[in-house]
Amino acid sequence: MKRKMILPILFVSMIALAGGCSKRKGNSDASSLDTTINQDGYEAGASIPSDTDKNKELQTNTDTEVQAALFPAYQLANGVRRYGFIDAAGMFVIEPAFTSAKDFSDDRAVVRDTEQTLVIDTEGNTVFRSAFDIEPFQNGAAIISQIVEDKYLKGFINTEGDIIIPPIYEKADGFNEDGSALVSPERGIYERIDKSGKVQESCKLEEKYSNVIEFRDGYIVYSDFNSMNIGVVDYKGKQIIKPNYSGIKYLGDDLFAVYALTDESFVPEYARPAALFNCSGEQLTGFRYYDISEFNEGFASVTDNKYTYFINEKGEAVKELPKFAGRGTLKFVGNDIIKAEIDRDLIYQQKDNAILWQNDRTQILASNLQVKANKVKLNKYVTVYYPVIEGLDAGVQKRVNAKLHDLFTQGRLDTEEEDYLSAEDDFAAKLQKNLIIIRKTGYDYYFGAAHGMPIRQYYYIDRTTGNFYELSDLFRKDSDYESRINSILSNQIEEELEKDDTMFFTDSFQGIREDQDFILTGDSIILYFTPMEIAAYAEGFPEFTIPFEKIKDIIDTDGAFWNAFKK
């Protein structure tokens, strides 16, 4: 867009906003540098722009074919997801090396690499990096964040990684196609700026709208000071939805998910139905849709007890489009390509149901030994993935898999939605010599609780015999290993209790349990306890390492358990 066209278009845009709903068009989702992060959180190669740089036109990629060419996908590495990008043929073109990845827009993607947030191009080259958040690109610019004098402020970079506006705003929204963006430099003040940061329009809102929950597309979702109910105004202070609701989420396309007031305030929004409202404050549907996603290409996804499916902007189910068994979100990411994130699985599928790519949960332990994952969906909020081992002796395999099924599903089969429990169980597997080690992980959260309870359990299985080993199997029968272990742990816990910042409970340790949790390493055994068992929740899983050398006199070195992972 030529510079001389910006003001006329902006004028038309402001008239449209003043008159009612105005659809914003653009990206709805929003060379490699070997540099380090400086004290401000930015890479040393990123510079604050000069006045000349500020006047550079934002580069907007209108080639949607290019933008849709690459899609984030992952592979498992030692049970951990590593993200890269695949093409439309389902082949990795940017290798999985990131801990998380967002969709490409403007030929740029935001990824996470351990403690850094990166912007990469379609070749995988790093364009920009920061210790703080970076939002997806929209019309040639992305919002960056930085802590400045104890304030979390926002600014903008362009697709080349140049900082075009430094972080000076308390709130910021992405740039429109007309080259303008809405920002808030301070409480209650909202401005429309151009790409150089020049203010084109400024509005001051009443104090009652200052408790802001969300600010996007010119809409402000706020909490009323008196009632604590949620409402919506635009950046000029025009009331869109009165504060008569328990929650509101902006969905894009001038539409909102609105949650009714309820006596069951402990139930989180994702477990309650929402109604669809438009930007005129009109209610388009009843309060019947769960897990409403943001609108993309005119569609959003919702869930019921069994499926995730599309609705249109009128809130009507779109029966012509695919639906997916399970709970999650759907969105279009290319020409007729659907990105489905269902029960922690990722699927890319065409409208005609042809699958382009789907994550494989199979874990290869050896050339003829693998562990697959079966899913049990007990209700909308409880999902269990349990291991199924392949490659063992037929009789052993049947017995082992039956026991694993019971271990993973016991205590889950009777759960119902009315229990107000959200639970996610999964696993990772590895082979240590002749010992198959299954690590079960999960997280139980009862609605309304201050926090959930993480789950971590290990199962040790003999590859040849199928025996499940316990701690006692590691020691000689006449060793009285419990007393020896208890003495060692008591001393270590006493050392923890003497620390000024200790989180351990006094007199909480009364000895190891018969089913004591433990982890095996090459040269030691780690005994661990569940959160709140002997220490505060914040301590996590307290661990105590005992080298084998320290207890070698009581280890049964001729026993099956020892030899399974040592010989």
The partner residues of 257 in beta bridges, in order of sequence, read: 249, 276
Q: Which CATH class is domain 474-566?
A: alpha beta
Taking the C-alpha atoms of residue 396 and residue 554, their distance in angstroms, rounded to an integer, is 30
Taking the C-alpha atoms of residue 372 and residue 384, their distance in angstroms, rounded to an integer, is 13
pLDDT for 511 equals: 96
Q: Do domains 363-466 and 474-566 have the same CATH topology?
A: no
pLDDT for 62 equals: 35
Q: Give the angle subtended at the CA of 13 by the CAs of 224 and 311, to the nearest 5°.
A: 65
Taking the C-alpha atoms of residue 371 and residue 236, their distance in angstroms, rounded to an integer, is 58
Taking the C-alpha atoms of residue 337 and residue 357, their distance in angstroms, rounded to an integer, is 11
The partner residues of 303 in beta bridges, in order of sequence, read: 290, 308
pLDDT for 68 equals: 46
553 CB-near residues (< 8 Å, 6+ apart): none
The partner residues of 165 in beta bridges, in order of sequence, read: 156
Report the C-alpha dihedral over residues 318, 322, 324, 325, rounded to 10 degrees: 90
Residue 462's H or E segment, with its range, is strand 453-462
Taking the C-alpha atoms of residue 122 and residue 494, their distance in angstroms, rounded to an integer, is 55
Task: List the pLDDT tens digit at each of the 567 positions of the chain.
Answer: 333 333 333 333 443 444 456 545 444 443 333 333 333 343 333 333 333 333 333 333 333 333 448 999 999 887 789 999 999 899 999 999 999 999 999 999 999 998 899 999 999 999 999 999 999 999 999 999 999 889 999 999 999 999 999 999 999 999 999 999 999 999 999 999 999 999 999 999 999 999 999 999 999 999 999 999 999 999 999 999 999 999 999 999 999 999 999 988 888 888 899 999 999 999 999 999 999 999 999 999 999 989 999 999 999 999 999 999 999 999 999 888 999 999 999 999 999 999 999 999 999 999 999 999 999 999 999 999 999 999 999 999 999 999 999 999 998 988 988 899 999 999 999 999 999 999 999 999 999 899 999 999 999 999 999 999 999 999 999 999 999 999 999 999 999 999 999 999 999 999 999 999 999 999 999 999 999 999 999 999 999 999 999 999 999 999 999 999 998
519 CB-near residues (< 8 Å, 6+ apart): 458, 525, 526, 528, 543
**How far from chain centre, in Å, is Cα 466?**
36
Tell whether the torsion through CA atoms of 351, 353, 355 and 359 is positive or negative. positive
453 CB-near residues (< 8 Å, 6+ apart): 443, 444, 445, 530, 531
Output helix, strand, coil percentages for the chain, rounded to the nearest 5. 15, 45, 40
pLDDT for 473 equals: 97
Amino acid at 289: Y
The partner residues of 363 in beta bridges, in order of sequence, read: 371
Contact assessment for residue 54 and residue 48, using Cβ atoms and an 8 Å cutoff: no
Q: Give the angle subtended at the CA of 359 by the CAs of 357 and 362, to the nearest 5°.
A: 135
Q: DSSP letter string over 96-145?
A: EEESEE---BTTBEEEEETTEEEEE-TTS-EEEEESS-BPPPBTTEEEEE
Taking the C-alpha atoms of residue 455 and residue 541, their distance in angstroms, rounded to an integer, is 9
Residue 338's H or E segment, with its range, is strand 337-342
Count of CB atoms situated within 10 Å of the CB of 214: 15
What is the DSSP-derived secondary structure letter of residue 16?
H
The residue ranges of every structural domain in the chain are 1-204, 363-466, 474-566
The three-class DSSP label of residue 204 is: strand
pLDDT for 383 equals: 96
Taking the C-alpha atoms of residue 132 and residue 559, their distance in angstroms, rounded to an integer, is 52
Q: Which two tokens stand for residue 47?
A: 């510079």
Contact assessment for residue 183 and residue 175, using Cβ atoms and an 8 Å cutoff: no
CATH for 363-466 is 3.30.565.40
Tell whether the torsion through CA atoms of 310, 313, 314 and 315 is positive or negative. positive
Contact assessment for residue 564 and residue 435, using Cβ atoms and an 8 Å cutoff: yes
